[in-house]
Structure 1
Amino acid sequence: MQTTNQLKSNCLSFTELLAQAVALISPTMTAALIIPVMYSNTGDWSWLSYALGTVMLLFVAFNLNQFARRSTGSGSMYAYICRGLGLNAGAVGGWSLLWAYMGITTAGVTGFTIFSGKLLAMAGISAPPLLLSAVCVATAWFLAWKNVQLSAIMMLVCEGASMALIGLLCFIVLFRHHFAIDSAQFATSTFPASSMGLGVVVAIFSLVGFECATAFGDEAKDPLKTIPRAVVMSLLISGAFFVFVTYVMVLGTRGYSTSLDKLDAPLNVLANLAHVGILQVPLSLGAMISFFALALSCLNAGSRILYTMGRHGILPPVTATSHKTNETPHVAVTVLAAIAFLIPIAATAGGIAMLDLFNYAGTCAAFGFLVPYALITIAAPVYLKAIGQLQTKDVAVCIVALMLLAIPTVGSVYPVPAAPVDSFPYLFLAYLAIGLVWILAFHRRKPSAAADIISDLKSSHDRFVPGSGPALNAP
């Protein structure tokens, strides 16, 4: 077991944890770029896809909170799966989360690059996209390296202001439509039954990251209360926001010369149609800052997963060191930041546009979240049974969650999407296979490591549930 400096304890309040989660979900990202993608799949019923996605992930959150209410620590999603299904399953979940957080970090960086470019263009200034990406990554790296609490406050201000501005625009649109109900969005004759599954996949892309508060277990104040609340509240706030903004955006752009699914700046178009074009600059500025907050939140959450897996020796132990002064996982933050900049460089060299990279990265990231969501759902009743607290309702919640998770899983491969998206599931499976081989080889090389990891997880668990060790006996 790697010996490290400790992360800064008892420094993140409920509000700051909620800010981390909402920033990672990034409601502004969905309003700025993803709702048109949703509309291309489910048309006037797009609001329903977001409602279904929110309900589905709430069931996942209920299973996740079975662990979060009882114990916590850094990188808790990884640790939770370990406690329920063993070390190998936990490591696979952690490996998958690293893919997911890197994908969303890339989406944040590319979104920042797109909107900062738009703002500069409004001022008659041209800047290379890679330079803008470098500014985003470097600034996010510094904040994540320096102080997690400062990062959380920054994200709270950024995302909160952006959401408030979008909300104001939506109410202006509703006012101009005399708050009349848009009956077309409830017409059963246009219900997109065949594409609703793909719509839920897009909704999952929008909502993933709600679990990130669990990564800050060592740094949260009163973690057994604040973390479960942050998990659920981030979903409810973001889901309600998505349903509302989608409904208004479909209403506000109806009859426009360009359909919603063809718009690359829907908020600016909505502002023009509502005769408040003056909001274009602040909306673009809010989107740019929100995408930065998204990248920062992913660096913070992903580095805690990398830190914990490094501490257990599964990944290079150097990633498990924390800064002596800042008490942040500075090596893990630096590694993820470097990858976050290398991806846009590689994409640019391959001739991939920033907007395409945004869409590709987000789609790939969704696969990375589905695996740990499924694993944590299965792990919850196993864990509860091991500590003698399993109830019938817990099994029912698990079954419903798995049934709902099957919708985006199947929807991502059938009907077969267009190239290159059709190859993304298999690219992720290849990454997952590499991780599984590495994990199995690790335990074969170091058979004594399992006992050390179990001891570490048990000591964290027993701080909160004395005398009822986690369900861990073997990898």
Structure 2
Amino acid sequence: MTKLESPGVEASAKRVLSGSLGATAIVFMVVAAASPLTVIGGAAPLGILLGNGVGFPALYAISAVVLLLFAVGLAAMSRHIPRPGAFFTYVGYGLGRSTGLAAAWVAMLTYTTIQVSVYGYIGFILSYTLETYTGVAVAWWVFSLLTIGLVGILGYRHIDLSSKVLGVLLVAEVGIVAVLVAVVVFTGGAEGLSLATFEPGNVVSGSPGVGLMFAIAAFIGFEATAIFRDEARDPDRTIPRATYMAVIGIGLFYTVASWGLVMAWGPGSVVDEAAADPGSLILRTMSTYLGATGEIVTNVLLITSMFACVLSFHNVVTRYQHSMASAGTLPDRLASVHHAHLSPHVSSLVQTGTAAVLIVVFALLGLDPVLAVFTWFAGVATLAIALLMALTSVAVIVYFARNRKDTRVWNTFVAPGLGFLGLITSAALITAYFPIMVGDVDAEGDPVFGGLSWFLLALIVVFPVIGYVQAAWIRTRRPAAYAKLTDAIAG
């Protein structure tokens, strides 16, 4: 790791992260970030209601294919650039230091907004559950702050502890959804089993751009496998394997699970059921097919699913901050590693404080935890990640075209190129339908780009600009540091 030391930090305090995580442990970390039960219980009903209705499950399969193509190039880069850092590292090597730093700031925006959005949702669910079963009303932001504190404690410690917690929660939530799908298949569902969800007419119906946003959002975090390179047992084999396992596993699970949700109510009724109350659709489905016990278990696991999600994203954000601090683009103290836990403990504390401050601000503004905090910022994160992955695909193609280190045409040109086309098309559709997600619509319900839409979309422009400005400053004031920027950012 290239050290750009400042007087306030001793050299011994800045150390390379280490560990012995295998492919399965890393997959647990990144798939937990996708929060399977939260997606099926929260995002899928909204995708059905606001997106393309019965055809929504097919968008998970389409997204998985696009992201698998993207993952081919990502895996190729991980073999030839043996450094953590994922997007900003690879963009830096492919498209230059300044663009790499701009990508780093977009990544920070992506993971911070998606994490904060889920903090809002989990605060709402905990508040709703407490009031439902006890009649005691407590503000959602109180539970959000308590969750932030617990995540901070786990994030401060060694990552092996986090991976064990995430593993247990992930198995439980996947298991309950699998049982539901099995029962639906065994009983034949409400209207009989069919492939109506994959019929082209249903796939392109309604607002497919909104549906695609919810579908791609479900995959956010899978690409972060490269972030854990320094903590992997055998990174050259573990990271590519974990990346493929994550995207294929997520794609198959969400496609089958959401198909089962549609079959549970039937293609003719599922949209109406989602419209009645999208937030409780999964609980009502569990009650119908698994009884009261299944509903209660699902409610508990829905809460733990969201907790696993924010814990995983906390680990990702802290490592982004750690790598950027090593490059001198964030305060030097963030590059410190705890002497006993071997974790980026200072970065973890800062991320905990950042999340807490944002939740307090949202609470003071009186924002709704689901319709505003969750929906708005999940939309920002999804569009940002789609653009960031598209940029990374270009970086992969350019990098290998220049140095010829890997002559496999499929891995270094065709797959990344197809991935780029799929991602940029997805980003265009999401942008076109973005106002619907934030409520900027006219009397007929058509999207209209109002002040809120422009403000949120502006964030995706402002953050990379910060990166370019900072890169220009470093190049002018600290040319030696700029020359080493990509390697330093990579850790």
Q: TM-score, normalised by structure 1?
A: 0.90
Residue 473 of structure 1: aligned partner? none
- Output the CA distance in 2 between the equivalents of 1:79 and 1:116: 38
Is 1:167–2:185 an aligned residue pair? no
SS in 2 for 1:232: helix
> 8 Å contact 1:21–1:213 — kept in the other structure?
yes
- Output the CA distance in 2 between the equivalents of 1:340 and 1:12: 27
Amino acid at match of 2:28: A
> 8 Å contact 1:51–1:243 — kept in the other structure?
yes
SS in 2 for 1:182: coil
Is 1:381–2:397 an aligned residue pair? yes
Residue 325 of structure 2: aligned partner? 310
Per the TM alignment, residue 136 of structure 1 is displaced from its structure 2 partner at its CA by 0.8
Is 1:150–2:161 an aligned residue pair? yes
SS in 2 for 1:167: helix
Amino acid at match of 2:397: P
> 8 Å contact 1:5–1:327 — kept in the other structure?
no
Residue 364 of structure 2: aligned partner? 349
- Output the CA distance in 1 between the equivalents of 2:403 and 2:148: 43
- Output the CA distance in 2 between the equivalents of 1:207 and 1:358: 16
Is 1:248–2:260 an aligned residue pair? yes
**Greater shift after overlay, 411-420 or 325-334?**
411-420
Amino acid at match of 2:287: N
**Greater shift after overlay, 88-97 or 378-387?**
378-387
Is 1:69–2:86 an aligned residue pair? no
Q: TM-score, normalised by structure 2?
A: 0.88
Per the TM alignment, residue 257 of structure 1 is displaced from its structure 2 partner at its CA by 9.5
- Output the CA distance in 2 between the equivalents of 1:223 and 1:95: 25
The match for 1:323 among 335, 338, 349 is 338
Amino acid at match of 1:348: A
> 8 Å contact 2:169–2:305 — kept in the other structure?
yes
Is 1:443–2:461 an aligned residue pair? no
Amino acid at match of 2:392: I
> 8 Å contact 1:144–1:300 — kept in the other structure?
yes
* Structure-2 change in CA distance of 1:178 and 1:413 (3 Å): closer
- Output the CA distance in 2 between the equivalents of 1:455 and 1:415: 38
- Output the CA distance in 1 between the equivalents of 2:95 and 2:203: 40
Per the TM alignment, residue 391 of structure 1 is displaced from its structure 2 partner at its CA by 3.8
> 8 Å contact 2:219–2:250 — kept in the other structure?
yes
SS in 1 for 2:207: helix
The total of aligned residue pairs comes to 459
Amino acid at match of 1:376: T
* Structure-2 change in CA distance of 1:58 and 1:257 (3 Å): closer
**RMSD between superposed Cα atoms in Å:** 2.2
- Output the CA distance in 1 between the equivalents of 2:486 and 2:464: 23
Residue 205 of structure 1: aligned partner? 217
SS in 1 for 2:343: coil
Residue 392 of structure 1: aligned partner? 409
- Output the CA distance in 2 between the equivalents of 1:430 and 1:302: 19
- Aligned residue runs from structure 1 range 79-90, under 5 A: 79-90=89-100
* Structure-2 change in CA distance of 1:455 and 1:186 (3 Å): closer
- For 1:163-208, what per-residue CA distance to the aligned partner results, in whole angstroms no more than 9, with x for missing partners? 1111112222222226942354345544425733432222111111
> 8 Å contact 2:55–2:205 — kept in the other structure?
no
> 8 Å contact 1:72–1:214 — kept in the other structure?
no
Is 1:135–2:146 an aligned residue pair? yes
The match for 1:18 among 27, 40, 44 is 27
> 8 Å contact 1:443–1:450 — kept in the other structure?
yes
Instruction: Return structure 1 stretches of 4+ with deviation > 6 angstroms.
Output: none
* Identity of matched residues, %: 21
Residue 431 of structure 2: aligned partner? 413
SS in 1 for 2:230: coil
Per the TM alignment, residue 154 of structure 1 is displaced from its structure 2 partner at its CA by 0.5
* Structure-2 change in CA distance of 1:22 and 1:275 (3 Å): closer
- Output the CA distance in 2 between the equivalents of 1:79 and 1:416: 29
- Output the CA distance in 1 between the equivalents of 2:288 and 2:172: 22
> 8 Å contact 2:114–2:378 — kept in the other structure?
yes
Amino acid at match of 1:433: V
Residue 446 of structure 2: aligned partner? none
* Structure-2 change in CA distance of 1:454 and 1:96 (3 Å): closer
- For 1:96-129, what per-residue CA distance to the aligned partner results, in whole angstroms no more than 9, with x for missing partners? 1111111121133223223322332343043332
- Output the CA distance in 2 between the equivalents of 1:370 and 1:430: 16
> 8 Å contact 1:250–1:260 — kept in the other structure?
no
SS in 2 for 1:165: helix
- Output the CA distance in 2 between the equivalents of 1:219 and 1:201: 31
SS in 2 for 1:264: helix
Residue 60 of structure 1: aligned partner? 70
Amino acid at match of 2:97: L
Unaligned runs of 5+ in 2: 6-10, 441-451
Amino acid at match of 1:160: V
**Greater shift after overlay, 371-380 or 220-229?**
371-380
- Output the CA distance in 1 between the equivalents of 2:467 and 2:332: 16
> 8 Å contact 2:22–2:233 — kept in the other structure?
yes
- For 1:295-344, what per-residue CA distance to the aligned partner results, in whole angstroms no more than 9, with x for missing partners? 11111111111111111111222211111221111121111111212222
* Structure-2 change in CA distance of 1:190 and 1:54 (3 Å): closer
Residue 460 of structure 2: aligned partner? 428
